[in-house]
């Protein structure tokens, strides 16, 4: 980028009257490292990627969030304790309906990935 100033102050730039050449340096942040506290899955993403999910064998096949490597956060699945009925829910490998996966960090903050059920519409034939 070249900058010229033709003002009445005699211009700006280098002492010999040459224009000042400005350069811009774009800093690219390090990629983000991800890990799972329940299995050996790891991943790498751009630094601005907010989260990563995987089908976790350590949580009986539930789709669970990964955590930033070294963060010491923990995740756990939450079993649904109410009646499932005709809703379509996610089950783990042991047949338990899972309603959420909770991520808890050492600083006390947490996130909850809710595995919302899908309602099923029942239609009746019109005679």
**Is residue 26 left, alpha or beta, with left meaning phi > 0 and alpha meaning psi from -120 to 50?**
beta
Query: Tens digits of per-residue pLDDT, 89-122?
Result: 999 999 999 999 999 999 999 999 999 888 777 7
CB distance 62 to 98 below 8 Å: yes
> Could you tell me the two tokens for 120?
């099923």
Q: What's the predicted TM-score (pTM) here? A: 0.66
Bridge-based pairing state of the strands 67-68 and 90-91: unpaired
Query: Tens digits of per-residue pLDDT, 46-81?
Result: 888 788 899 999 999 999 999 999 999 999 999 999
How many Å apart are CA 47 and CA 93, to the nearest integer? Answer: 33
């Amino acid at each position: 980028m070249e900058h010229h100033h033709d003002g009445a102050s005699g211009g700006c730039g280098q002492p010999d009257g040459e224009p000042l050449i400005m350069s811009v340096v774009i800093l690219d942040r390090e990629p983000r490292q991800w890990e799972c506290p329940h299995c050996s899955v790891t991943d790498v993403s751009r630094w601005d990627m907010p989260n990563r999910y995987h089908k976790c064998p350590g949580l009986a096949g539930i789709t669970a969030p990964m955590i930033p490597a070294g963060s010491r956060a923990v995740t756990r699945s939450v079993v649904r304790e109410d009646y499932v009925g005709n809703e379509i829910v996610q089950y783990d490998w042991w047949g338990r309906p899972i309603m959420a996966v909770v991520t808890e960090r050492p600083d006390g903050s947490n996130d909850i990935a809710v595995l919302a059920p899908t309602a099923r519409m029942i239609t009746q034939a019109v005679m």
